[in-house]
Amino acid sequence: MQHLYEAIFYDPKVNLLFRDEAIIQYMLQFESALAQAQAICGVIPGEAAQVISECCQVANINKEQLIADAALGGNVNIPLVKQLTSVVNQKDAAAAKYVHYGATSQDVIDSAVMLQLKDAIDLIAKGLDVLIEQLTLLVETHRNTVMIGRSFMQQARPITFGFKVAHWLDGILRSKEKVDDLLKENFVLQLGGAVGTFHGMMGRGLMVAEKMSGLLGLKMLSIPWHTQRDCLAAIATTLGILNGSLGKIAKDISLLMQTEIAEVFEPSGKGKGGSSTMPHKRNPVGCIAILANVQRVPSLVATMLGTMVQDHERGTGTWHAEWETISAIVQLTAGSLRKATEVTNGLEVDKEQMLRNIEITKGLIFAENISLALAEKIGKQEAHELIEKCCQEVQRSGMHLKNIVLENTVMRQYLTSSEIEGLFDPVRSIGLCEEWIKRVLNI
């Protein structure tokens, strides 16, 4: 997917795995392993397997002709086998008849996709390790950085920025566990022939499959999975959830970058985040890319779930719909992850602005503190009504709630000046932020 937008939305390292040449090589890797396994199991001569393996090189394949011929057979493997057979025939005519012996196109394409996705998910797992390390550092650095917590986009109660980032980290940690589970169990070999019965391998198909499993590093299921697509669906849904967690980070950061809030900023750099017309702007370009990707992924995941309902022993159209869909999900996810690691590496946090924003409501966010303290002395209902009148006075007069409370004779009967000052201290209003942070960090 080399085009103008690759640097914006994607990870070039992962995209390399989805280039035409890479796809062809993964299929040739299958054909080579098939021949080797069949030779080990006595299905084909060892000399033939050696020749076939030596010929399984991308350089031997005419990509343009492959693309032109793919439409005739409905998939790229049919013309690939034709070309590979021709190459082998030029070297050893006797070996040519054993190319793709006993396999079907779906065996090749499914297994090649699994090899491809395994390599891509491994890169994503490594990227998650980096992101987790960076988020952990942010949590530790800002565990005592007080800011306002927001509910329905409105100021609610003080929290810490470390607490907010701990929420991000917690979701990413769960996704990392799921991605690791995929790498352990979910990448599986497809081999079974036309309808999954191994007809044509001299009764040794299961033995061949077991050997291929070891050669390719793909696990075996209990039975060929031509029309059982749960493994691919699991990859799609796992990455879909990961995208949502990455999108949450991007959404929060982009909102915190708003001019009226200005508490957090993406790392700065020459020419980064600028506007073509407004020199003063600092746009959340990394977050924008993540959010754009996140918008696209759910419908792609839905497509993968829809393709699970396949007919009989080979799917008609449903299988074919997966090829580009799962590739897009993986590439978009890798791109989102890459941008997330860039955004969180050197994230700028304005602690002073966070404290200034806490005062925007002139102390109204601390009204609950006063009400709870009074309730212990005069009862919940009376305390609520009293502080409600004080809040209305703030809105009428523009005075700070603390000053109104300090001047209220009724309240002063129950609360000392020192107690009132403490109730307006944001550091004393963050609840269990530190305890929750410790749980996320597992300390």
Please, which residues have CB within 8 angstroms of residue 296's CB and are 6 or more apart in sequence? 328, 332
Written as one string, the DSSP assignment of 341-401 is HHHHTT-EE-HHHHHHHHTTTTTGGGHHHHHHHHHHHH-HHHHHHHHHHHHHHHHHH---H
Distance separating alpha carbons of residues 110 and 193, to the nearest angstrom: 12
Distance separating alpha carbons of residues 70 and 72, to the nearest angstrom: 5
- DSSP element (H, E) containing 146: strand 146-151
Question: Amino acid letter at 432?
Answer: L
Distance separating alpha carbons of residues 225 and 208, to the nearest angstrom: 16
Choose, from 19, 174, 268, 275, the residue flagged as catalytic: 275
Closest by Cα among 110, 102, 81, 106 to 38: 102
Please, which residues have CB within 8 angstroms of residue 441's CB and are 6 or more apart in sequence? 136, 139, 140, 166
Report yes or no: 139 and 349 within 8 Å, Cβ to Cβ.
no
Q: Is the dihedral of CA 135, 136, 139, 142 positive or negative?
A: negative
124 Cα distance to chain centroid = 8
Q: How many CB atoms lie within 10 A of CB 318?
A: 17
Distance separating alpha carbons of residues 70 and 80, to the nearest angstrom: 9
Question: Tokens representing 312?
Answer: 């009989």
Distance separating alpha carbons of residues 34 and 212, to the nearest angstrom: 6
Closest by Cα among 146, 138, 131 to 245: 131
**Three-state DSSP class for 265?**
strand
Place of tokens 């499959």: 209
DSSP 8-state symbol, 222: S
Examine the residue annotation and report whether 429 is marked as an active-site residue of this protein. Answer: no
Overall residue count recorded for the chain in this entry: 443
Please, which residues have CB within 8 angstroms of residue 141's CB and are 6 or more apart in sequence? 162
Distance separating alpha carbons of residues 371 and 386, to the nearest angstrom: 8
Examine the residue annotation and report whether 327 is marked as an active-site residue of this protein. Answer: no
Distance separating alpha carbons of residues 8 and 123, to the nearest angstrom: 18
Catalytic residues: 275, 314
